[in-house]
Structure 1
C-alpha cells in the first residue's frame, strides 16, 4: 500500500487532503515583520530600517552594501527584495529563497556573512505575506515571487543566467526547484528540501498523489543545471529521507552534503557547510 498503514490508506481515499490543507500543515508561518522599507533623504531610492525583531542592526558600512527595492509578480503583487553586494567583483550571485518563519530583516546579517565568506553577492526576497511583500502566501504566489526576483536580478544588476546560483532553503526549495525547471543557471542548491507536502505528513509514501502540494520530487527531474543537495541527518522537521529522495532524482547531481547530527535549523554552524559551498563555487563551477 505504497508505504502507508491501513488507517492512513483508507483516510487517503475516503477523504483526500487538498493541496491548501497540506500546505497549511507544512509551511507559511510569516513572522511579524522585522523591517520596513522607506525612502532615503533624497527620496530617490529605498533603504531598509530594521526593528528590534531583526536582532542585528547594520553598521553604516553594511548599510552601503544593501540595496532594497520592489519587484512585481505577473499577478501584480509587490515583492520586497534585498541585494547584498559582498564582493564588487563577484563571479556569482545567489538567488536565495529563505526558509519559513523568517523575513529579509532577520536574514540580512546572515546574507552579509555568507556572501563575504563565499565572495558572492546575494539577492533575496520575501514571499507574499512575508515582510513588506503584498498578497497571500500560497504555492503559486511563492513561485511567482521567485520568478519576479530572478527577472529583476538579471535586469537591474546586469547578471547573466550563467552567473546565478539558485539557492533554496526548506520551503524555499519549492520556488527554487520550480524556477530551475524553467531557466538556465550556473547551479542549484537545495538546502533541507522537502520531497512534497504529502510526504512531510507521511514520510513513507512512495508515490506522488494528484492532490499533493510542493511536488519537488517530481519537478527536480526536469532541472537541467548541476544540483547540490544539503541535508541534516537528524532533521526533525523535514526528515533526512527527503534530501536523499531529491538527490536520487536529480538529472545532474553533485556530490551531496549529508551533515551528521545536524537538524533543520543548524546546518550553517557546521564547518562542512561552508567548505562544501566553497568547493562548489571555486572548484566545481570555477
Structure 2
C-alpha cells in the first residue's frame, strides 16, 4: 500500500537536513498500514532523520528530524522536532529530555557519546518553543510533547516499554518523571540535576517553600512518591541554579516509595551471608557476647529489588558542568545503572546509606591535584 505524498522539500547539507516543506523527491518509501516511512542517513553523524505527522490522516514523511504534529483545537498545527540516534545492537532506548536553554543541536554530541559508550539507542526532542519546534513552552505542552514522543518510540520504533529508560536533565526531569509515572513498566529513570518542584527552586527550600502548595508546578516530588522503576539521581553539591537540597529531598521520597513498593510486592530484601555462626554456639558454653561476635557475618547482598539505587552526588559540581568536569564518573555510574540495576532484580545493597560526597569522590580530588 502506498500513500500519496504531500508537497515536500528538503534542503540538505553534508551534516544536516533542514525541514522546509514535506516530500523528498525521488526517495522510495517503505509503507506499513497507513504509516509511510522513509529513511534518510546522515553521512557524517549516521543519525536517522525522519518527520512524523500526527494530524489526520496519519502519515510519516522524511526529512531532517522527527516532527510530531498534534493540532490544538482552534490553533495552528504544532511541530515538535525529534532526532533518533540509532543503535541496532542496543537493548535499551534512552528517551532524553534536555534542560532549559538547550535544544537538539546542543545535545547531539552527548547523545552520540551515550550511544557509543553505553550501547543504547537515544531519542532526542525539542519541547514546543525550543529549537526547531513550534508553539509555546509551558508545563502543559512539555508533558503533551513527551507523551507523543513516547507513543512514537513504542508504536513506530517498535520498542517495548520495558526497554525504555527515561533520562531528564534540569527542567527535563519533569517530563522524564511523568513518563516513569504513567508507564510504570519502563526499565528505569535517570534524573540529572533535578528540581523537587518549581516553587522549591524559587523559594530556595525556605520553610515556606518546603510545604506543598496548590499552585506549585513540575512536581517531581509527588511523582517520585509513585514511581515503580529503579531511579538514579545525579546532582552537583554546588549547583547554584537548582540547589542540591532538591536532590536530597527527592532521594528521601524515593526511599520511602521503595519501601512501600516492596510491601506492595509482598517482598523483602534477601541477604545472603558468607559466614554463619555455629548453631551450637550457646550450647558450647560461649558467652552471649562472644557468640554474637561469631554470628556477625559480612553481608553479601544479592537479589535485592529496590527503586532507590545509590545516587551520584558530585562534590563541587555545578548545574552545567557535570559532563565537562566529571564525565568519566558520570558515564561509569550510568553504565552500572544500565548493566546491573535495571529489571526485576537488582544486584545492589538494599537502599544503602549514601556515603559522604567527600569520601566518594576523594579519588577524583586526588587525580585533580
Task: Pick the structure with more helix per residue.
Answer: 1
Both proteins in one fold, TM over 0.5: yes
Matched, 1:233 2:237: yes
Cα distance in 1 for residues equivalent to 2:40 and 2:128: 20
Superposed displacement of residue 104, structure 1: 0.7
Corresponding position of 1:214: 218
Q: What is the TM-score when the length of structure 2 is the normalising length? A: 0.61
Higher relative contact order (CA 8 A, sep 6+): 1
Q: CA deviation at 1:148?
A: 0.4
Does the 8 Å contact 1:84/1:121 carry over to 2? yes
Query: Partner residue of 2:190?
Result: 189
Deviation at 1:61, TM superposition (A): 3.8
After superposition, the Cα gap between the structure-2 partners of 1:228 and 1:192, relative to the gap in structure 1 and judged at 3 Å, is same
CA distance in 2, matches of 1:201, 1:244: 17
The corresponding residue for 2:19 is 37
Q: Spell out, residue by residue over 1:121-146, the C-alpha distance to the aligned partner (whole angstroms, 9 max, x if none).
A: 10111101112212110000000100
2:81 counterpart residue number: 80
Aligned residue among 68, 86, 91 for 1:71: 68
* Aligned residue in 2 for 1:124: 124
What's the offset of the Cα at 1:202?
1.0
Equivalent pair of 1:40/1:47 in contact (CA under 8 Å): no
> Which residue pairs with 2:315 in the alignment?
260
- Corresponding residue for 1:200? 201
> What's 2:337 paired with?
280
Confirm or deny: 8 A CA contact 1:35 1:105 kept in the other structure: no
* Unaligned residue ranges in structure 1 (runs of 5+): 1-33, 49-58
Q: Distance in 2 between matches of 1:74 and 1:281?
A: 36
> Residues 230 and 341 of structure 2 are in contact (CA less than 8 Å); yes or no, is this contact kept in structure 1?
no
Mark the CA change 1:64 to 1:218 in structure 2 (over 3 Å): closer, same or farther. Answer: closer
Instruction: Provide the aligned length of Structure 1 versus Structure 2.
Output: 242
Spell out, residue by residue over 1:3-33, the C-alpha distance to the aligned partner (whole angstroms, 9 max, x if none). Answer: xxxxxxxxxxxxxxxxxxxxxxxxxxxxxxx
CA contact (8 A) 1:235 1:263 kept: yes
User: What is the match of residue 45 of structure 2?
Assistant: 62
- Cα deviation 1:164-206 (Å, max 9, x = unaligned): 0011110101111122111120000011000111111112222
1:160 paired residue number? 160
Matched-pair contact (CA < 8 Å) for 2:163–2:187 = yes
**Contact 2:230–2:342 under 8 Å retained in 1:** no
TM-score (normalizing by structure 1):
0.78
1:248 pairs with one of 237, 248, 252: 252
Secondary structure at 1:237's aligned position in 2?
A: coil
- Structural RMSD (CA): 2.2
Q: Is the 2:237–2:314 Cα contact (8 Å) retained in structure 1?
A: yes
